[in-house]
Amino acid sequence: MLRVAAGMVTEVREKRTGVQILDVRLHDSGLVEPAVSFFDEDLAAGDEVLVNTTAVRLQLGTGGFHIVIGKTRRTVEDDLSPGAWGHVMKMRYAPSQLAVDTVEEQDSPYHERFCDESLSLEGTPVLIGELHSLLPAAAAAVAWAAPEKRQVYVMPDAASLPIALSRQVARLKSAGVLAATVTAGHAWGGDRETVTIHNGLLAARHVEQADVILCFLGPGVTGTGTPLGFSGMQLAEVIHAVSLLGGIPFFIPRLSFADPRKRHFGISHHTRTVLGRFALRPVLLAVPEFGDGRDDIVRSQTAELIRSGSHLAVSRPAPDHEQLERLEQTFGLSFVTMGRHWRNDPAPFQAAVLAADLAVQSAPFLAECASGGTHRCAGPDTLAALALFLTRSGV
């Protein structure tokens, strides 16, 4: 199914870098409906446009917007996404394919750096999460605990492709929480572009000088209610890339006690599938303790993950509600996931904040490891030592 419609822009409701929110009157129905454009094309009331209506007609799509394909009455050839050196195409052979300036391509000023096969993440902590809605809580927690640390967000391509769709990223950058963004694979629109998630992580460290990397899927993840049919499966590849490049993977479990779906109760089957069956390298799993019956559920689910792999669980008392409220208000954010504010479902945000706190607290251990001049893969021995360090420091 691919539905398109012609219409006329009636109002430009919002305009920021890389995105315009419009009202469009569709010619066939006469209805005025919201639409979004992701290119730097000046649109104004009265412009005739062609829009992709597929997701809205299926009642899908983050935000419920039609997607603007372009103006229908164009008389000259325009460049809607100018670049400097880019020859790498993203969204290849789709109608909106575009050339971007990837950091690793031959004409890039960073090309020689990425030819170095020894390039590593140098023990950089990487916060890994499935739900884009948890990015603000994790980033705010790092900014609160260690404002001097430079945070860079790396967006893979398993969910939305244009990073401009994320209002959360725009808010985090305007608040000074995120220093830069990198879009990897077919995702596009970041401050830096890369062909692969591997070089996306390396670009965050070596081009943008990240002290902490956040790697969450973009908004608009897909799930099918089947064991393997969900966007978060890409996180197994992220874990492998972080580990084999010498980073430290701090994994944020998808965790909820308000989701009515049994498969997402406690630690979601998404997390349990990725870590239990497909992640071939170990992670540090942040496990909040609630001090009530929920702990028995999480403890049982966590035990299964540890038995099935070499993951290290680090348990700490869950960050309290006052901390969530403080982070939300201090940085002007809104912590909402799956349509639920943190007051109605605090557990996922508590897990994200805990993982961020652990990443910050790991700094002395990681600095000591790096002082030897070698950057090993984050194998079981390294992670076990770090988990012990964090456990002792939290007592």
pLDDT in tens, 342-372: 999 999 999 999 999 999 999 999 888 776 5
Average pLDDT over residues 19-35: 95
pLDDT of residue 74: 81
Where are the strands (E) in 243-323, listed by range?
248-251, 255-256, 266-267, 284-289, 312-317
Q: Are residues 17 and 145 in the same domain?
A: no
Q: Cα(237)–Cα(219) distance, rounded to whole angstroms?
A: 18
Name the domain boundary from 14, 44, 71.
71
Residue 101, in any domain of the structure: no
pLDDT tens sequence across 307-326: 766 899 999 999 999 999 99
Mean pLDDT of 20-43: 93
> Does residue 326 sit within a domain?
yes
Structure tokens at 121: 């993440």
In a domain, 358, yes or no: yes
| Closest alpha carbon to 284 in 234, 247, 327, 337 | 247
Whether residues 196 and 301 share a domain: the answer is yes
- Half-sphere exposure for 374 (CA within 13 Å, toward CB): 5
* Helices within 105-214 (DSSP H only): 111-114, 135-145, 167-174, 197-206
Residue ending a domain, among 71, 102, 127, is: 71
pLDDT tier for residue 112 given thresholds of 50, 70 and 90 = very high
- Indicate whether 301 and 367 sit together in one domain: yes
Greater confidence, 373 or 218?
218
Residue 78 lies in a domain: no
Do 256 and 329 share a domain, yes or no? yes
Of 22, 44, 71, which residue constitutes the final position of a domain? 71
Claim to verify: residue 151 and residue 46 sit in the same structural domain:
no
In a domain, 23, yes or no: yes
If asked whether residues 57 and 135 sit together in one domain, one would say no
pLDDT at 96 over 80: yes
Q: 118 and 29 share a domain?
A: no
Closest CA to 65 of 100, 37, 42: 37
Which structural domain range is residue 214 located in? 112-394
In a domain, 12, yes or no: yes
Q: pLDDT class for 375, splitting at 50, 70, 90?
A: low
66 and 119 co-located in one domain? no
Domains identified in the chain, total number: 2
Task: Please report whether residue 91 resides in a domain.
Answer: no
Which CATH number characterizes residue 45's domain? 2.40.50.220
Q: How confident is the model at residue 382 (pLDDT cuts 50, 70, 90)?
A: confident
- The reply to whether 130 falls in a domain is yes
- List C-alpha distances in Å: 250 to 125, 312, 386: 7, 10, 11
